[in-house]
Chains A and B, each alone.
Chain A
Amino acid sequence: MRTISFSQATLEAMQEEMRRDPTVFVYGEDIVRQGGIFGQFKGLPEEFGDRIRDVPISETAIVGAALGAALTGTRPVADMHFADFIGVAFDEIANQIAKNRYMFGGQANIPLVIRAPDGISKQAAAQHSQSVEGWVQNIPGLIVVAPSSPATAKGLLKSAIRQNDPVIFFEHKVLYPQKGPVPDGEYFTPIGKAEIRKPGTDVTLVTYSIMVQKSEEVAMELEKEGISVEIIDLLTLKPFDTATILESVKKTHRCVVAHEAVVSGGLGAEIAARIQEKAFFHLDAPVLRVGAKDRPIPFSPVLENYIAAQKDDIRKAIYAVLYREG
C-alpha cells in the first residue's frame, strides 16, 4: 500500500488505462495547460500528446461528441469541469447517451465516462456547489458512481473506463487533495458493489462520496456512547447494491441514508423505498434521510453551513431511529 492523494489516484487510473488502450482519450476545458484545477491531469499531455485535449467552452459538444466517439470505436473520458455544467449537456446525457443502446435494440457499446467534480467547496455558491446525482438518478441507461477515497477513486475510474456503458463519475472537489492508502499494482473497484466501511450492529448508515468520512467520524463518536453503526459506502449510485443494504438492515433493523445533495427526490428516497418494499417487517423505525435543505447552495458561509447537511444532522438521525434523546 502507498499513500497518495485522490487526484493522484485518478491520474494513475488515467495513465494506466491510456497506456493500455490507445483508443482511450480525455478532453475538457482548461485541463492541458495547468493540469486541471486539482492537478488531476498533470503530465498527461507530455505522455499522451493529443489524446488529452482542451476544448472550447462547449459542454454540449463535449458530451454529445463523446457519444459519437464511443459509438465509433474509441473510449472517451469527458471532463465536465464542474458537475453543475451537466445542465448544459443535459439533452446529450438524458436523451442521447442514456437511450442509444436500448432505443437501437442493443446495436452498439457506449464506452464513455463523464467525469463530474461536484459538491460544496470554498463558498462557490449556487451554480458551482451542487451534487446533482439526483438529476441523473431518474434516467434509465446510465451508470453512476461516486468514490469516497483515493483507493476507490482509482479503482472505480479504471472500471468505468473499461465499462461498455456510459458512466457518470462524480468526484467530490473536497476529496482531491486528501490522501489515503492505495493498493500497489493494478486493481479494480467493481461497479455495482457497495463496501462496508465499518461493521456495526445497531444502525445501518448508507452513504457515499464526501459523506462517508463524515459518517465515519460520527460513528466513532457514537461508539463511545455504546452505539454500533454499520457504514455502507455505496460507491455505485446507479444501479446501487440493494442486496448489501438489505442484508445490513435485516441485521440492524434501522437505517439512515446520508448524502450532501438535497433530500427531496434524492438517492435517499430511492433507498428508503427499496428497503420498505423488500424488508418492511425487519424495520424497527422509519428510514431517515440526511441531506441538504431544499435550497440552492447560498454563498455566505453562515448560510452555506445552514443549508448543507452537517455531522450533527447524521448524529440526530441516528438517535432518532434508535428512539434516543440526543
Chain B
Amino acid sequence: MPYQKKEFPNRFTALQKDAMHNLLRTMIRIRTFESRVEELFLNKKIPGFVHLYIGEEAIATGVMANLRKDDWITSTHRGHGHAIAKGAQTDRMMAELFGRKTGYCKGKGGSMHIADFSVGMLGANGVVGGGFNIAVGAGISSLIKKTDQVAVCFFGDGASNRGTFHEALNLAAVWKLPVLFVNENNQYASTTPTSFATSAERIADRAKGYGIEGYTVDGNNVIEVYNAASALIEAARKGKGPALLECLTYRIKGHYVGDPEKYRTKEEVQKHFVENNPITRYINYLKDKNLITDAEIDAIQAEASSEIAAAERFAEESPFPEPEDALDDLFSFSPQEFPEAVR
C-alpha cells in the first residue's frame, strides 16, 4: 500500500556510535528473548498464551530510544519487546513467563500482563485496545503535575478498530495531551488481514479526523522509526499535543505460539523474513557505512545470548509462589486489616 513519506529531521546521524550500536543491541536482545521464549513455550516450560514480537523489533527500539525512564508506555498482548526496550529486566520477565515468585507480577500476570511500573512500562494488556485511554490518563497526569513526561501508546492494526481508539485520540487532541499513539501495523489481527478489517487506506490517515498529525513510516527500518518518534515525542513534550505514528511491519510468527496459521502461506512469511528483517537491514546499513565491525556484531550477539541464558536460569531456579500468595495484592491494605473486603 503506497503512502506519503514525510521527511523527518535525521537526528539519527547525530547519534554517537555507541547509541547506534545500542539500537542494534536492543533489537537483538528482543529477538533472542523471543526466540528462546518460543522454544520454552513449545517445551512446555511456559504455560498460558504467548504472542511474539519477532520481526517488529525496530518499532519498540526506535521509539523507546527517544524516551526517558520517567516517560510512560502502554503495551499490548504482544508486549515483551516493549518491556525490554523500555528497560525491563529480562530475568524478571522470564520468571514471570515461568509463573515464578520472582517475576514482575509475582506469577499473577504471565506473558499477557507483563509490566514494570518502575521503568514506566504500564503493562501489557489482554484486552485489545485497553491501553489507549490508560496512555491518555498518563498524559493528563503529566499536565496536572506540570511535568514534561510523555506517554506512548503502542497498539495494533486490529486495535485501531476498537471504539476506545476514537475516544482516546479525540480527548488527547482536544486537551493537547503529551501522548504519542504508535500503531504497529503488522498486516494481521489474529487471522484477519488489516485491509479486510480497516476502512482507511492508512491507519495514519485517521489522524485527520482528530485534527492531529499522522504519519506512516517503514516500521522495519529502525532509523526511520527513530527519526519520526524523535520529532513527534519532542513536540509532545513541548506541549504541541498528540500525534499518530503508523509503523508498517509484518508479524513473522503466528498470532500466538501454536497458531495453525491457515490464513496465510509459508512463502509469504518467508519472503518477509528474508527481505524485510529489521535486524539484518540495520546491520547491513551500519556495515555499509562502516559504523560497525563484524567483531562488534558478534559481541552484541554473544552478550544477548548469555543474558537470555542467564534469564532462563534465573527463572528456572526461582521458586513458584506459595498457593496462599494468590490472596495478596488485591487492595492497598492487607487481609488482616480488613478481612471482610478480602474474603
Residue of A nearest to B107 (CB): A300
B306 touches A (CB below 8 Å): no
A223 → chain B closest CB, angstroms: 29
User: Which of A58, A87, A298, A302 is the one whose CB lies under 8 Å from B127?
Assistant: A87
Q: Which residues of A contact B9 (CB under 8 A)?
A: none
A4 touches B (CB below 8 Å): no
| Residue in B108, B327, B342 whose Cβ sees the most chain A Cβ within 10 Å | B108
Q: Which of A117-125, A138-146, A164-172, A214-222 makes up part of the contact surface?
A: A117-125
Asked if B342 and A294 make an inter-chain contact with CB atoms under 8 angstroms apart, the answer reads: yes
Asked if A56 and B192 make an inter-chain contact with CB atoms under 8 angstroms apart, the answer reads: yes
Q: Which residues of A contact B159 (CB under 8 A)?
A: 57
A285 touches B (CB below 8 Å): no
A85 to B162, CA, bound (A): 12
Within 8 A of B (CB), among A282-322: 293-296, 298-307
Q: Which of B14-22, B65-73, B280-288, B316-324 makes up part of the contact surface?
A: B316-324
A9 to B190, CA, bound (A): 25
Q: Which residues of A contact B109 (CB under 8 A)?
A: 125-126, 298-299
Q: Which of A26-34, A153-161, A200-208, A225-233 makes up part of the contact surface?
A: A26-34
A199 → chain B closest CB, angstroms: 33
A33 → chain B closest CB, angstroms: 4
B110 touches A (CB below 8 Å): yes
Residue of A nearest to B158 (CB): A57
Within 8 A of A (CB), among B290-343: 320-327, 330, 342-343
Q: Which residues of B contact A32 (CB under 8 A)?
A: 191
Within 8 A of B (CB), among A26-81: 29-30, 32-34, 54-61
Q: Which residues of A contact B343 (CB under 8 A)?
A: 263-264, 293-294
A182 → chain B closest CB, angstroms: 26
Range, interface on chain A:
35 or more
A9 to B249, CA, bound (A): 40
B49 touches A (CB below 8 Å): yes
Q: Which residues of A contact B2 (CB under 8 A)?
A: none
Within 8 A of A (CB), among B128-175: 128-129, 158-159, 161-163
A238 touches B (CB below 8 Å): no
Q: Which residues of B contact A34 (CB under 8 A)?
A: 191, 260, 262-263
Within 8 A of A (CB), among B228-264: 260, 262-263
| Residue in A87, A263, A303 whose Cβ sees the most chain B Cβ within 10 Å | A303
A17 touches B (CB below 8 Å): no
Asked if B127 and A56 make an inter-chain contact with CB atoms under 8 angstroms apart, the answer reads: no
A12 to B161, CA, bound (A): 31
Given A34-B263, A84-B127, A87-B127, A123 and B326 contact (CB-CB distance below 8 Å): no
Asked if B128 and A125 make an inter-chain contact with CB atoms under 8 angstroms apart, the answer reads: no
Asked if A60 and B108 make an inter-chain contact with CB atoms under 8 angstroms apart, the answer reads: no
B197 touches A (CB below 8 Å): yes
Asked if B326 and A306 make an inter-chain contact with CB atoms under 8 angstroms apart, the answer reads: yes
A124 to B256, CA, bound (A): 12
Range, interface on chain B:
35 or more
B48 touches A (CB below 8 Å): yes
B342 → chain A closest CB, angstroms: 7
User: Which of A124, A294, A296, A300 is the one whose CB lies under 8 Å from B49?
Assistant: A124
A266 → chain B closest CB, angstroms: 12
B211 touches A (CB below 8 Å): no
A128 touches B (CB below 8 Å): yes
A18 to B94, CA, bound (A): 47
Q: Which residues of B contact A54 (CB under 8 A)?
A: 191-192, 196-197
Residue of A nearest to B99 (CB): A300
Asked if A127 and B126 make an inter-chain contact with CB atoms under 8 angstroms apart, the answer reads: yes
Within 8 A of B (CB), among A100-132: 122-128
B112 touches A (CB below 8 Å): yes
A279 touches B (CB below 8 Å): no
A203 → chain B closest CB, angstroms: 24
User: Which of B107, B189, B342 is the one whose CB lies under 8 Å from A298?
Assistant: B107
Q: Which residues of A contact B322 (CB under 8 A)?
A: 302
A140 to B163, CA, bound (A): 26
Q: Which residues of B contact A305 (CB under 8 A)?
A: 323
B105 touches A (CB below 8 Å): yes
A273 touches B (CB below 8 Å): no
A88 to B130, CA, bound (A): 9
Asked if B112 and A58 make an inter-chain contact with CB atoms under 8 angstroms apart, the answer reads: no
Residue of B nearest to A31 (CB): B191
User: Which of B125, B162, B190, B342 is the one whose CB lies under 8 Å from A30?
Assistant: B190
Asked if B49 and A122 make an inter-chain contact with CB atoms under 8 angstroms apart, the answer reads: yes
User: Which of A128, A300, A302 is the one whose CB lies under 8 Å from B112?
Assistant: A128
B10 touches A (CB below 8 Å): no
Asked if B48 and A123 make an inter-chain contact with CB atoms under 8 angstroms apart, the answer reads: yes
B40 → chain A closest CB, angstroms: 14
Q: Which residues of B contact A123 (CB under 8 A)?
A: 47-48, 99, 110
Residue of B nearest to A125 (CB): B110
Q: Which residues of B contact A124 (CB under 8 A)?
A: 48-49, 112
B153 → chain A closest CB, angstroms: 16
Q: Which residues of A contact B29 (CB under 8 A)?
A: none
B113 touches A (CB below 8 Å): yes
Asked if B263 and A33 make an inter-chain contact with CB atoms under 8 angstroms apart, the answer reads: yes
Further contacts, 4 of them, CB under 8 A, given A123-B47, A303-B108, A306-B326:
A56-B161, A61-B163, A126-B113, A294-B342
Interface residues of B (CB under 8 A from A): 47-49, 99-100, 105, 107-110, 112-113, 125-129, 158-159, 161-163, 189-192, 196-198, 260, 262-263, 320-327, 330, 342-343
Shortest 10 CB-CB distances between A and B: which pairs? A300-B99, A127-B126, A300-B107, A299-B110, A56-B161, A306-B323, A56-B197, A303-B326, A123-B47, A123-B48
14 examples of A-B residue contacts, CB within 8 angstroms? A29-B190, A33-B191, A34-B260, A56-B158, A60-B162, A61-B163, A125-B48, A126-B113, A298-B108, A298-B109, A298-B326, A299-B47, A299-B99, A302-B323
